[in-house]
Structures are given as structure tokens and as C-alpha cells.
Structure 1
């Protein structure tokens, strides 16, 4: 039985290659089991499996911020006012029967990347599809039911044969807005960034259909595709770190297609080496969800283990202040403005031989702590929002901070979370 390689046609009786190389930041050391979309956090929450507080937070909250109410449908007074609720449910068009022939896949790859950036993507990468990177039971549900299942899709292997290329895009948040982590300003950067990227993907999928080629959406797990497509490396905080924007990017769901393209290769920008000595995200995480220790093996992959549940469960208890935490992104030393000195810093790590990178990463970590602080507290003003001013829900007005912002949760919020955890344990 022949082994399928990237240069051979994928036939029905072929055996797939092992999971492809994804760069230095992760290492496949065991059996990789495809992710079951129905067991991801939001889907479990939709079914009520994470408890009433989280379930009510997801379905029954209305944001105090009008911008927040149109940024995400679940926080709106009327879902029809949030455009993002319509993007996923928009009807899919048919494939144009008059196919545009591709004489040179390399030229088409460059063209598709230019189109994606014109449509709003900050960066684009291509990867050859592997079944391990596709959801276990077909596609990720987009009807709000929280129920997995094939939804008309065939097996992961057949899907990978039919659509051999994945297009992954990222959308970079505004740097200054992203510094207002645990705040409505940061929420706006996050949610509207997600909305923009979903629109980009929807338009790009339509464009490929108009070229006469097939598209599959919401079938691939974003992180391994992004790593294989050369968009970045995975950090200690479990987020994608890109060369140009750091971790302040939205990833979204890749597009699979049969449009002939040329895959990119994983990159090495020194994340593996820097995260070993940095630990800034772990030390500042409000819920201690990021490990300060070494890597562990998760689903056959050696990487830093993230406790997603402790991170996720905090949200109902702080929703009067913010929606999305983003502290790990804001404090990451790679997350800096896209200016010349940041480029020099990243490239100095990237171009240093791997055995010598420790001589570069430790001084850079010290410089980052010295000039940027160990916890980002910069005051950010945007529209009517000001992170240096805070009015509590009970009407109390906190003293104005001239330089620093109020970024919750503080210790009292975390203690409330810990108390709730103990109560839940005692009832179990």
C-alpha cells in the first residue's frame, strides 16, 4: 500500500504520512487524536455542561457597553443587531462551472494571498491538509446548537483528499487598544477583530468559488494549520505568536480548497527559546491557568499545558467590567508595535544560532521588564472609554489614574472565583 507524499496524488487506498512538522514550538511524540468539535469549551457550555453561571453568561447576558452589544451577538439585547451573527449563517454560493485554469500554482498562491490581504487579512499562509488537523466528527457547528456531527461532511481522510490545501489568515488587533486588557477597550479590539476576520474568510471563500473551485469551511482546527502554514509559533500561553504582530492576532477557522496552491513552511522566530526564560504570561495570569513549569504531553503533542477551564470559568464573575481577559497577550514581549526596534529584536533572536539563543533571550527579557513592566498597566483612552477612570456598579467613582489603567480582576475578583470553586467542590 503506497505512502502518500506531498508530491503524489492522494488516492482512496493510500496511507497518510505521519503528522507533518509544525516547527520547534511543538513536537508530536505520540498518537494525535483529531479534536472533537462538540467537546470544545463553547460547545460544552451551550449544552450546560460547565454549570449554570457559565451557561447563563453565554446566553442570558446583555453587555453594559453598546459597542459590546453589537460586537458579539450573545451580549446583545437583540441578536439581529450584531452582524457577526449573520456571517456564519449566510447562504453558501454555488461553484462557478466556468473554472479558471491554474497554469502555475505558485502564481495563484501569491494572488490568493494578495486577495486575502485586500479583503482584510493581516497575514496569510498555506498548508497542505492532513486528516489529523480536521475535526473528528465533520465540521464545527455554527447553528448555536452545541451539537457535533458530520453536517453533510464525509470522513476527515476523504475531506483532506477532496480539499488538499488549507488557507489560514490572521487579523491583527490595534496595538494600543489591545494594551487595555481586561477592559471594554480591549473587548472592542478582540470582538471586532473576530468579526472582521470572519468577513474576510467568507469573502475569500466566495471568491474561490467564483474561480470555479470547491471550499470547505469550519472543518479544520486553526492552531496546527497556522503553525504548518508558517504564520507563527505557539507560546507558553497557548496563543499563536507571529513575527510581525506578536500574539495580538485573531486566528479564525481556515478555509480548505482544491484550488492548486503551493504550501508554506513552519517558521522559527525564537518563541521556543524565549518562552523558556520569560514566563511573564504565566506570572500575570489572573487565574493561574498558564503553567510556569516545563512542557507536558497533550493529545500526543509536547507543548505547554493550558488549563482552559479555570480561564473560561472566570468570565461570569467579571462581566460587569470586561468580557475577554487578554492579559497574556498584552504582556507578551513579542506583542509590541510594529516598528523598527521590534523588528531588530525579533530578528536578533531569529538569526542567532539555536545553541546560543540563551545569550540573547535573557537580556531581552530583562530589558522588557525594565522598560515595559512586568504587568501592563498603561492608561488607554479610546472614544468615550478611558481605562484610567472607573465607576463601579454600585456607583462608586474610583480616583483617576493619570498614567495607569484600572484592569480587573484584582485580587478580590479572583478570591470570589476561588470561593465559588470551593462551594462547587463541597456540593459534588
Structure 2
């Protein structure tokens, strides 16, 4: 027997894409992303060239920690916990469902559980089909692991699982400052592993409550924005109020557990990014624009050249894996201490028309006390971000003119130099 509520769900007409905060604006038709067209998936098929394809499938990290941090860099994939979490069978839903008398109480409970399991912050959003991967990319058994049969549409998935749970995991601040180094790699990769474990445990917990779960079906960024976890910066990363951009997003959990959605937040990212440009000026591949916003897939936001960023990896893999320069230099990425809280709240609580009076002095202070590059020598375990370990185990002598981030050197004047060259030719 079909209830009236179920009939209404089947006949539902989806409202326009919900408000996601001031950092992005929907100005046209938003088409669901095809998961097959995301960078890693294109690379798996060899569409991005041999160097990247070889880097993805045939590399073994020189760092033993790197070999267990990500399965693709290991000598034996079974040594990386990622392989076991990703390949673990999905559990069944407990037939003895826990009734939810008050969704607000359950929402607070789920957030506490998620944080206990390792999440740094948690948000809830009402699912919209536009935020799900294009239909036909996952089966309708709630596992979201892909397969040849049982495919369902994004609309049907959104009806079955009306709530999305988004978590972030903040990696270590000091380790993250050693960007473009094995130290930064360890912070990044093991942060991803921690969040993957958190999501797996949280999904199992919800099934034990008697409710369905779908994973790997939603695009993380719009869900995180709608769930109030942060705003999107010029560098295309989520910037959170407490941790800045040093967070992992991971794949949100979709569920039919009754919850109460959160609202998008405003911490002044839209206003600060207009005047900052630190990430764009220090990006070693010029992948971040210094110009204004453009329209991508119906959304007005800063354009990122993901391909130039991604293509760097095979050429530096003997030194480090993940760049993270844009995250490390972002003024919002600071330790979670009282003066950072005061700075963020001073922007947040300033009326929007007057924020320019606050953001420019804040940018000057950040440049003055933290530097335009945010350069910091970090020592961790046997690693030293000021020294380069060579393949034979010896250590390369210090070269101050190179900075600490061999083999690339940031050059904040390269745009000025380009302008000077163009001017001289005129």
C-alpha cells in the first residue's frame, strides 16, 4: 500500500538549487556532474596522458609512510588501510528501527557521534538532485559502489535519502605548513584516511539505527556549503571558520534518518578573497586566477585550472606528492587560537558594505607578520622541510636561495615580471 506521503514524494517537483552562501551564486542551469569525468576517473582511463596514468598506477613512494598512506603509492596495496576500508562489504540495515521522536535531538546526537568517531566538524543539508553525480553512476542498493545493474536517477536517490551528512577532518597545522614536502604529505594523506574511517563508522552506525545509507553519490563541495561547514575560497577549497582551508571533505553520507538541515554560513570569505590573492600569487602552476569570478556549470565562482594543478604530480613525485601551497598560505589557515577567532569574527560581524575597511588591514597584518609566502621550517620525525633527502639516503646541503621547498620556488613577482616584459615590448 502506498501512503499519501509517498505519493507526494513521487510527484514532487524539485525547487531551484538552494542557497549556498555568498561565496558562490547560481546564475544558470546547474547540470549534475558525471563521476566518470572527474580527474582521477579520467586519469584511470589514460585520457590525461602517459605520465599521469603511470603516476597513478605504477608509482611506489620513496617514503615508507607514504606507501601506507595511499594504496596507489604502496609496494603492496594490502599494506594500506585505504584498501581495506574501500573494499569492506556494506552491512545490512538493522530491521529493528530506532524511532526518532524529535529530529532536532537526533541531529545533535549524530553530530556528537561523528565527532567522537573523528570528525572535526559536521553539518547537515537537505539533498537536492543537482548535488548528486549524474544518474547511472551508482546502484540503488544504498552502497553507492557502482555496478552494471539497479541504476537509479539522481531524483529518485534524493527522494529516498533526503538528508546529507557532511564531515570535515582538519589536519595538523604545523605539519601542513611544510607544504610540498613529505611532512605535508603525511598530514594530508593520513587526514584523508582518518576521515574515510569516520565516514565508514558513521554509515555503519546509522544502519544499526535501522536507516538506509548511500555513499559516494554526492559531490562534496556544494553539500559542505549548504551544510554550513564553510565557504569556497579563490583557490576552490572549502574555508572553515575554525580551521581555515586545512580540511578534508570526503564523500558525504546520504540517509533517510530524520534530521534537521543546517544553514550556509558567512565568515567573510567572499570579501577577503577579493583583496587577498595570496593563493593565486604563490601557486607554482598558475592554476588559480587573479581575476574576478566566472561562470562554471551555471555557478558564478572563481575558476580553477584543475588540469595544470593535477599534471604537476608525476614530475615531482620523487620529492613530494601533494602541493598544498594554496592551503598553507591562505590567511584563514591559522592555528585555532584566540587571536585567530577574533580576526575571523571581526570580519564576520562587520556589515557587508563596510567589510572592505576590515579586510584590507587584515591582509596587511597577515603579510607583515606571517609573510607573503608563509614560509616555515618544520621538523618532524626524521624529516626536515629545510633539507632535501636524496634517493640514496644522503641529505642535500641547504640552499637558502631556493627556499625550503625544493624543487620548486615560489615567485610572488612573476606577474609583475610578466607585466614588465609586456611593457618593454610595447
Report if TM-score (shorter chain) is over 0.5: yes
1:66/1:20 CA distance change after superposition, 3 Å: same
- Partner residue in 2 for 1:246: 244
Q: Which moved more, 1:402-411 or 1:297-306?
A: 402-411
Q: Which moved more, 1:103-112 or 1:82-91?
A: 82-91
Q: Which moved more, 1:4-13 or 1:278-287?
A: 4-13
Q: Deviations over 1:339-387 (max 9, x none)?
A: 0000000000000000000000000001101111111220001111111
Contact 2:124 2:165 in 1 (8 A): yes
Contact 1:4 1:15 in 2 (8 A): no
1:17/1:6 CA distance change after superposition, 3 Å: farther
Q: Deviations over 1:295-319 (max 9, x none)?
A: 0000000000000000000000001
Q: Which moved more, 1:94-103 or 1:135-144?
A: 135-144
- Counterpart secondary structure, 2:401: coil
- How far did 1:408 drift? 3.3
- Counterpart secondary structure, 1:127: strand
Q: What residue ranges of structure 2 are gaps of 5+ in the alignment?
A: none
> Distance between the aligned counterparts of 1:426 and 1:309, measured in 2?
31
Contact 1:168 1:254 in 2 (8 A): yes
> Distance between the aligned counterparts of 1:64 and 1:213, measured in 2?
43
Q: What residue ranges of structure 1 are gaps of 5+ in the alignment?
A: none
- Partner residue in 2 for 1:83: 81
1:142/1:19 CA distance change after superposition, 3 Å: closer
- How far did 1:81 drift? 0.3
Q: Deviations over 1:87-127 (max 9, x none)?
A: 11100000000000000000000000000000000000000
Q: Which moved more, 1:133-142 or 1:267-276?
A: 133-142
- How far did 1:400 drift? 3.7
Q: Deviations over 1:257-282 (max 9, x none)?
A: 00000000000000000000000000
Q: Which of 137, 141, 144 in structure 2 is aligned with 1:143? A: 141
Contact 1:42 1:146 in 2 (8 A): no
TM-score, normalization by structure 1: 0.91
- How far did 1:145 drift? 17
1:10/1:411 CA distance change after superposition, 3 Å: farther
- Partner residue in 2 for 1:116: 114
Residues 307-386 of structure 1: matches in 2 within 5 Å?
307-386=305-384
- How far did 1:413 drift? 13
> Distance between the aligned counterparts of 1:125 and 1:61, measured in 2?
36
- Counterpart secondary structure, 1:9: helix
> Distance between the aligned counterparts of 1:416 and 1:280, measured in 2?
13
Q: Which moved more, 1:323-332 or 1:139-148?
A: 139-148
TM-score, normalization by structure 2: 0.91
Q: Which of 233, 253, 256 in structure 2 is aligned with 1:255? A: 253
> Distance between the aligned counterparts of 2:280 and 2:164, measured in 1?
32
- Counterpart secondary structure, 2:413: helix
1:131/1:46 CA distance change after superposition, 3 Å: same
- Partner residue in 2 for 1:36: 34
- Counterpart secondary structure, 2:389: coil
Q: Which of 55, 58, 83 in structure 1 is aligned with 2:56? A: 58
Q: Deviations over 1:376-424 (max 9, x none)?
A: 2200011111111113447774334799962134259999999999999
1:147/1:307 CA distance change after superposition, 3 Å: farther
- How far did 1:153 drift? 3.8
- How far did 1:12 drift? 1.2
Q: Deviations over 1:165-188 (max 9, x none)?
A: 000000000000000000000000
Q: Deviations over 1:113-159 (max 9, x none)?
A: 00000000000000000000000034479999999777634110000
- How far did 1:85 drift? 1.3
- How far did 1:8 drift? 11
> Distance between the aligned counterparts of 1:47 and 1:420, measured in 2?
37
Q: CA RMSD in A?
A: 5.3
Contact 2:123 2:227 in 1 (8 A): yes
Q: Deviations over 1:227-284 (max 9, x none)?
A: 0000000000000000000000000000000000000000000000000000000000
